[in-house]
Structure 1
Amino acid sequence: MRVSKALAACSFVAILAASVTGCSSDDSDDSASSETTTSAAATTTAAAELDAAGKQEITDAYVTFFNGTSPVDVRVGLVENGDTFRPALEGMAADPRASATTVTVAAVEGVDETNANVTYTLLMGGTPVMPDQGGQAVNQDGTWKVAAATFCALLSVQGGGTLPPGC
């Protein structure tokens, strides 16, 4: 169990590091500086908008998606590129242990207009099994969803064979 938790933590750290790594420019002219300032202001505004309008939507998406009793069709609509994951979600729905899965969300932080970082704890039967995990949310077609990378990371920790298409 500890090995699984350690692997999960490493997976999430790797995904988080990959999602926040960006490019920078060595240009030091005024236009580059102006673009950077404008970009920073836009990111700050997006984060503020997320705090006001998106935080609850992201929290609700995580809570509903990771609730093992949520219908497959609902869960498909709450994960990025959900139709790709339908077979995996149907398989999980058939597993009686999956119905005991829930999640609590501790924090949501906007990254930009279409991405957010989420801190959550996965529970089985109310007992934390993966506390304080880092995940992502994406705004796809105007709806905040659990990022495919987050779901794939959990599937890879679960093991049991090949990852589904989309991972």
Structure 2
Amino acid sequence: MDVVRRGGRSRLAVLGAVAVLALGPALAGCSDDGGSKSGNSTTPSAPSTGTTAQPPGGAAQPDDPAAARAEITRNWTAFFDPKTTTSEKTGLLENGEQMAPVLAAFAGDKNAAATAAKVKNIDFTSPDGANVTYDLLVHGNPALPDAKGTSVLQEGTWKVSVKTLCGLVELSGVTVPGC
């Protein structure tokens, strides 16, 4: 049963979405191989009122911003899609090989099958970094609307940043090795 608070947000739905990513006991067993943290990343947060400023002349964008936006949207959608295999998700996550145990833990969770993401906005911060605004959906409904994350260009692929994934996990109060 959801309890709706003022502003239309459901606290239980938000906590449920975050719990999908928490999996405390499964994640606590993951080894820490010194995984890196990306300096190009942000933690999911409530909606902001400002926008990311671009330097004059568009120097903060990749050579083909439209193609990069399309790839970021496609990769974020696939990363959060429960039908995407763990192996595929590893390739869509920054330093995915280091985070494979975390992704494997999510694959076995029944709640993960109800979670998806919808990219709403992409603002480039550099030719290889972007701020991403997205809705985290549970059963198709926004549970964490206007969340903030980042995408990084790594090995020629636009990927969900480790910091974004770890930020979602940390919202639940769980500490995950490698985050």
State the Cα distance separating 1:146 from its structure 2 match: 0.4
Decide whether the 8 Å contact of 2:13 with 2:143 is kept in 1: no
Decide whether the 8 Å contact of 1:85 with 1:164 is kept in 2: no
1:13-162 mapped onto 2 (5 Å cutoff): 13=45, 40-41=56-57, 44-47=58-61, 49-159=63-173, 161-162=174-175
Higher radius of gyration, 1 or 2: 1
- Code of the aligned partner of 2:92: L
**Residue 121 of structure 1: SS of its match in structure 2?**
strand
Instruction: Return closer, same or farther for 1:131/1:84 CA change in 2, 3 Å cut-off.
Output: same
Decide whether the 8 Å contact of 2:43 with 2:149 is kept in 1: no
Q: Aligned residue for 2:176?
A: 163
1:135-156 Cα distance to aligned partner (Å, 9 max, x none):
1000001110001111110111
Decide whether the 8 Å contact of 1:4 with 1:157 is kept in 2: no
1:120-166 Cα distance to aligned partner (Å, 9 max, x none):
0001111111001111000001110001111110111234x43132x
**Runs (5+) with no aligned partner, structure 2:** 1-9, 19-41
Counterpart CA distance in 1 for 2:109 and 2:66 is: 37
Instruction: Return closer, same or farther for 1:134/1:145 CA change in 2, 3 Å cut-off.
Output: same
**Runs (5+) with no aligned partner, structure 1:** 21-38
**Residue 47 of structure 1: SS of its match in structure 2?**
coil
Q: Aligned residue for 2:25?
A: none
State the Cα distance separating 1:52 from its structure 2 match: 2.2
**Residue 68 of structure 1: SS of its match in structure 2?**
coil
Task: Indicate the percent of aligned positions where both proteins have the same amino acid.
Answer: 35
Instruction: Return closer, same or farther for 1:48/1:90 CA change in 2, 3 Å cut-off.
Output: closer
**Residue 111 of structure 1: SS of its match in structure 2?**
strand
Q: CA RMSD in A?
A: 2.7
State the Cα distance separating 1:40 from its structure 2 match: 4.8
TM-score scaled by length of structure 1? 0.73
Counterpart CA distance in 2 for 1:83 and 1:48 is: 25
State the Cα distance separating 1:101 from its structure 2 match: 1.0
Counterpart CA distance in 2 for 1:11 and 1:149 is: 6
Counterpart CA distance in 2 for 1:126 and 1:113 is: 32
- Equivalenced residues, count: 139
